[in-house]
Amino acid sequence: MIGHDVFLPTPLPVLCVGITVMLAATAWRRSVNRSFLTGMVTLLLALMFVEHHTGTAWSNGDSLFIQDQWANYTAILIMFSSICILLMSWRNGAHDRTTPQLDEYPLLCMLGTLGALTMVFSANYMPFFLGLEILGVSLMGLVTFRHESAIQAYEAAMKYLILSGVSSAILLFGVGLSYGVTGSLRFMPPITTGDIFPVLPIAATVMILVGIFFKLSMVPFHMWLPDVMEGASIPVAAFLAVVSKIAIFSSFVRYFGTGEQPLFFNDILYVVIILTIMGGNLLALRQTSLTRLMACSSIAHVGYLLIAFLCPGRLQSGAITIYLLAYTTSTLGVFATMTAFASPDGPDGTVIAQWKGLFFTRPFLASAMSFMLLSLAGIPPSIGFFAKFDAEISQKGCTSG
């Protein structure tokens, strides 16, 4: 039956109501400030009720959604990040005369956040893929809101459209094979049963893994992220680097962390982790754009997160939660500092050379940026150091145990 018996985490209907109100208000009379304010109020209300839900989850595990500590934690990070990005966008639009003041922008941010939260709470392939596509379509629209160069923004959006479509197709093909093997849409790796030929579950798992690797921009599926983030505005680049990464990584942990993993899974993961960390850091050495540098940082940090994922049990959960918090706060801090540095008649903050000598003119801004970058690099006494240290200790404890 449809109604109160359907299990549904409260943040999802709260965001749906808020988005509906924004659409109705836009149809009545356009107001950018009102749209930003409505979006932030909606996110704050969703944060207040993040642990609440309606209905009762099915005892056999066939519910569409799941709400546990991991889902609540990543949902809080996503909503907090979206609030910060809306504030950055509001400030960026108010101080940039060439940025089009359109209330579709906060609406797309809210839709992207809704898609990310849907992925986080998913216990079934259907809401997971629906949330993934809502997030992806919203990001395509957001990338085109570039104030300096519309052509560069359209090119970035087209790259994201093509590569996102390819990765979604691969992932969906894997989902179809998984359903053919198990006869269930439950969000977990397919397990061989009966006389099913072993190649089918292996092919399904590999395709889903490749699709997620594309979305996480892991090496060798990483080249699209620097181009797309460079073509987007600073707040949208922050959305790509933080909100989308948290949502997809949360789904990755949910998918491969709760069920039985295939034998080849760890071997593939070891290779990809090494390539991702080395590739992201080496690629960053030649960058002159701060946005592209942050894209390379995002690539490398996914590799560090997967190191924590390899250790099961409490060590895994502790290392991942601390590292996600450190990555989220540090990355948002960098983009917020870039937004504060940009000015209508001056530098846009995306070129590294523009930051030379900033300490003598704006010492607080320079100090904040230095601390955030040191945190991302894992230099003590920043939070990034403790996150990397905890991940390393967890991995050693796992291997020694």
CA gap 289, 274 in Å, rounded: 25
Q: How many other β-carbons are positioned within 10 Å of the β-carbon of residue 216?
A: 25
Q: Does the CA dihedral 322-324-328-334 come out positive or negative?
A: positive
Highest mean pLDDT among 162-176, 316-330, 347-361: 162-176
Q: What is the mean pLDDT of the chain?
A: 83
Q: Dump pLDDT digits (tens) for 32-43.
A: 888 899 999 999
CA gap 106, 32 in Å, rounded: 8
- Kindly state the percentage of the chain with pLDDT values over 90: 35
Closest by Cα among 142, 116, 137 to 243: 116
User: Buried b vs exposed e over 163-188: b needs ≥16 C-beta within 10 Å?
Assistant: bbeebbebbbbbbebbeebbeebbbb
Q: Is the pTM of this model over 0.75?
A: yes
Task: Tell me which of 48-57, 198-207, 216-225, 352-361 is least confident.
Answer: 48-57
The single-letter DSSP state of residue 187 is: S
pLDDT surpasses 50 at 95: no
pLDDT surpasses 90 at 308: no
pLDDT at res. 110: 94
Closest by Cα among 371, 388, 381, 391 to 309: 391
Residue 345 identity (one-letter amino acid): D
Confidence of residue 98 (pLDDT cuts 50, 70, 90): very low
Q: How many other β-carbons are positioned within 10 Å of the β-carbon of residue 370?
A: 15
pLDDT surpasses 80 at 56: no
pLDDT at res. 318: 73
Strands (E), 52-117: 53-54
pLDDT surpasses 50 at 169: yes
For every residue of 315-344, DSSP letters joined together read HHHHHHHHHHHHHHHHHHHHHHHHHHH--T
What values do phi and psi take at 258, rounded to 5? Answer: -110, -25
State yes or no: cis peptide before 347, omega within 30 of 0.
no
More confident residue, 128 or 390: 128
Summarize the confidence of residues 257-272 as an average pLDDT: 77
pLDDT surpasses 90 at 45: yes
